[in-house]
Structure 1
Amino acid sequence: MRIDRSGLHDTVLAGVVAAASVAQFVLYGPARLQAEGLPAEGVRAPDPLGALLVVLACAPVAVRRRWPLAALCAGLVPEALLDVAGYGTGVSALSGMVLLYSVASHRGLAVALGALLLAVTTYAVGAVAGPVMASGPNEHVVFAVVLVAVWGAGRSLRLRRAYLEELKDRAARLERAHAADTRAARAEERSRIARELHDVVAHHVSVMTVQAAAARRVLAADPDLAREALSAIEHTGRLAMTEMRNIVGVLRTDARAELGPQPGVRDLPSLVEQMREAGLPTSLRVEGEPVPLPAGVDLAAYRLVQEGLTNSLRHAGAGVKAVVTVRHDPGELDVEVRDDGNGGKSGDGGGRGGDSRDGEVSLPSGHGLVGIRERVALYGGILSIGPLPGGGFEVRARFPLKDGL
């Protein structure tokens, strides 16, 4: 069972305030006032009725946080009766200050100002209607200043509490925004990894399929050639596993950095040689002066060539030749993959399609060249995909390079 500690603390505080007020009421009777040279004319001597009124004035302190304004009003009634009955002004002033502080610290400005005005009015009425304990008007001014100071302390506490709540709320909002950004970054990273895996798997599996078919055809007639094809399949499979292991390894760590360097234009000679081994005669042409490329553009260019050559290997037909051309123009990188096969026919539905400008391209529902479209569009490039006049197929992209890169 959960205990309301704030209510318990307020109850204890009410008891302490009541004890102190009753002690003041009993000790500072007319005789004590006269002994100290204070005006005591008309002041009523302490009695049980007065003590009861003092306790009733202090009792609302027990609920000062739950109903602060109601508690203040309830406490001011016995205090006013004490003044009117002649027990002296300010007998239960301590409880009134506690209740005024509670209203100022737990309620809005309008209610707090109303409570201050009510407390000052009650004191003024008691000072006029009952015997005056003060030695002069200066005492009334001092008491009014004390009331305002108590009220100001309560308002300061409320403003500080509101400021801290605002800071907590802002921190919670920032934490939620950070969590949303983290989720978005993770989703983007998974999408990127999915594209990378598709490119790797589609390319290497296509090469292995072609090599396996060639090995099957010559297995009986030329075992040595079949053995070479099987060795090439093994080598291609190991390359695929190594590259996929590097990519999937990113999923096992919170770091965003790659576990290994990503392929780029510098790796195109190895890719072309691999395609030659797979049975697609391929040549590479590099025009212009090579310049350092942004990492994203470098990877996108490599994947475009990889997907274009894989497309040619799978769908262009027998006896096809492919040409890869990389042009380094001022402010632009032009990458082109052409073959002289049956470019007008579609293979797996994901390879051969239409033309695009500014990254927009009309493609079938496959994922290969669709992924290329997304890569090129990401870097503001222009992608062109489609059959060539007179036969053949072309995949071409032009990437703008900023600041001379």
Structure 2
Amino acid sequence: MRPYFRPVRRRERLRSLGNVTGRNRTADAALAAGGAVLLAATAVPLAASWGGLYWLPGLLAGAAVVGTALLRRRAPFATAVAGLLGGVLAVAAARTGGFPVEPQPALALGLAVLTGGAVRRLDPPRAAVLAGAALLVLAAGPLLSARATSGGATAVAVADVLAWVAGAGGGLWLRLIAVRRQELASAVRREERLVLARELHDVVAHHVTGIVVQAQAARVVARRRPERLEESIRGIEEAGSEALTAMRRIVGLLRDTADAAPASGATERLDELVRRFEAGEARAVRLELPAATTAWAPELTSTVYRIVQESLTNVARHAERAGTVSVRVTESPADVTVAVTDDARAARPVKPGGFGLIGMRERVEALGGQLQAGPREPHGWAVVARLPR
């Protein structure tokens, strides 16, 4: 699992829009070419067998419905209704005027495409009504418009129904794909929000806690050792600058850029993290790291850093009487273990509504690991995370 999802850049959105537009143009060109071929393939035999202009009404009706189908993306409902009216009028004209059986292939093609567009884009009730009406026109039209001397009405009805099945099935398939894409996009957005929430909590809570602790220490220094007050103020200033830098990194994740600096740290920065903690808390930290971590995945190093950072922040908040803190990171061929312990004798309060342990647990479980946090014997608190490599 990747720790971040890079925002889609404007150029990529334009490229995607251009690809969709290109596919739409190709589909429309194929529809126009297919309709022209069907119109010609129907009109020529009819002109040879029926004679006169009996072929003309079917050609005009088919051309009108295919042309309407080319406008389906602009107004799916209106074009579908117009196509249905065209089909009904063609059937009525064939019935009353003695013209060849309708709907003819070109008209059936246009009506099937309009049905697919309605099923794909309209709300389910209207899509179902339009699809049912189109099926009725295509299935019953050839039988209603056929004269006693006409042949092949049943075959025309079967072909028209198959065209409807292809159109409605294609529209439903595209609709399901769109729904699936929306679900995936929603899942990505949820994951992004969770990641950013964890980063905001980890970074802001850690740095702000450091500023508060150093400010409290500065008050004590001002009373007891005024000559060191400037050093304490400098520490507060540095902590504030680090907080601003970390916030800029997180904001970079929200901006439309491809080169935003990651907000996650790595194990080689644990030394610096521990030194800052020792300086602000005036207590010793035993740090033990593996010899090398070059083979670790980025999300693994990021999770290790955040676990240690959040654990030290909790020590500063809830374990004021802890004399010694231990940070131990070990690795094996199968996993990496992070253990942060303290020796505070006072019971650690559990405040409802906190997100520190929740964020750590989410990070660990996202990588398939396990997290345990709680009091340890004979006293103190321990956070132990096991992360698969």
- How far, CA to CA, are the matches of 2:257 and 2:176 in structure 1? 23
Write the mapping of 1:136-175 to structure 2, written as runs, cut at 5 A: 147-148=151-152, 156=159, 159-160=162-163, 162-175=165-178
- What is the aligned partner in structure 1 of residue 344 from structure 2? 341
| Higher gyration radius (CA) | 1
> Following the alignment from structure 2 to structure 1, what is the Cα–Cα distance between the partners of residues 359 and 333?
27
Q: How many residues are treated as equivalent by the alignment?
A: 282
CA distance in 2, matches of 1:151, 1:103: 17
SS in 2 for 1:396: strand
Kept in 1, the 8 Å contact 2:139–2:158? The answer is no
Counterpart in 2 of 1:185?
188
Supply the AA of the counterpart residue of 1:66.
Answer: V
| 1:329 counterpart residue number | 332
Shift of 1:326: 0.6
Pick from 259, 266, 282: which aligns with 2:261?
A: 259
Amino acid at match of 1:331: A
2:244 to 229, 241, 244: 241
Q: Confirm or deny: 8 A CA contact 1:342 1:393 kept in the other structure.
A: no
- Matched residues in 2 for 1:201 and 1:328: separation? 29
Deviation per residue, 1:77-111 (Å, 9 max, x gap): xxxxxxxxxxxxxxxxxx43154749994656763
Question: Residue 275 of structure 2 aligns to which amino acid in structure 1?
Answer: E
Tell me the residue number matched to 2:383: 395
1:380 alignment counterpart: 368
Q: Which residue of 2 aligns with 1:315?
A: 318
| Maintained 8 Å contact 2:287/2:327 | yes
Please report how far the alpha carbon of residue 167 of structure 1 lies from its aligned counterpart in structure 2 after TM superposition: 3.0
Distance 1:366 1:72, change over 3 A: same
Q: What's the offset of the Cα at 1:273?
A: 1.0
Distance in 2, matches of 1:73 and 1:218, equals 102
Secondary structure of 2:200's aligned partner: helix
Query: Secondary structure of the equivalent of 1:284?
Result: strand
> Which structure ranks higher in relative contact order (CA pairs < 8 Å, sequence separation ≥ 6)?
2
Aligned sequence identity (%): 31
Show the counterpart of 2:357. 369
- SS of the residue 2:224 aligns to: coil
Distance 2:198 2:269 in 1: 19
TM-score with structure 1 setting the length: 0.61
Residue 28 of structure 2 corresponds to none
TM-score, with normalisation over the residues of structure 2? 0.63
5+ residue gaps, structure 1? 1-16, 22-62, 76-94, 124-143, 351-363
- Deviation per CA, 1:322-375: give whole Å up to 9, x if none: 1110111221101011111235231xx34xxxxxxxxxxxxx541111211222
What is the Cα deviation at residue 199 of structure 1? 0.6
Deviations along 1:254-304, one digit per CA (max 9) or x if unpaired, are 76x853362122211111111111123212112466452222222111111
Residue 132 of structure 1 is matched in structure 2 by none
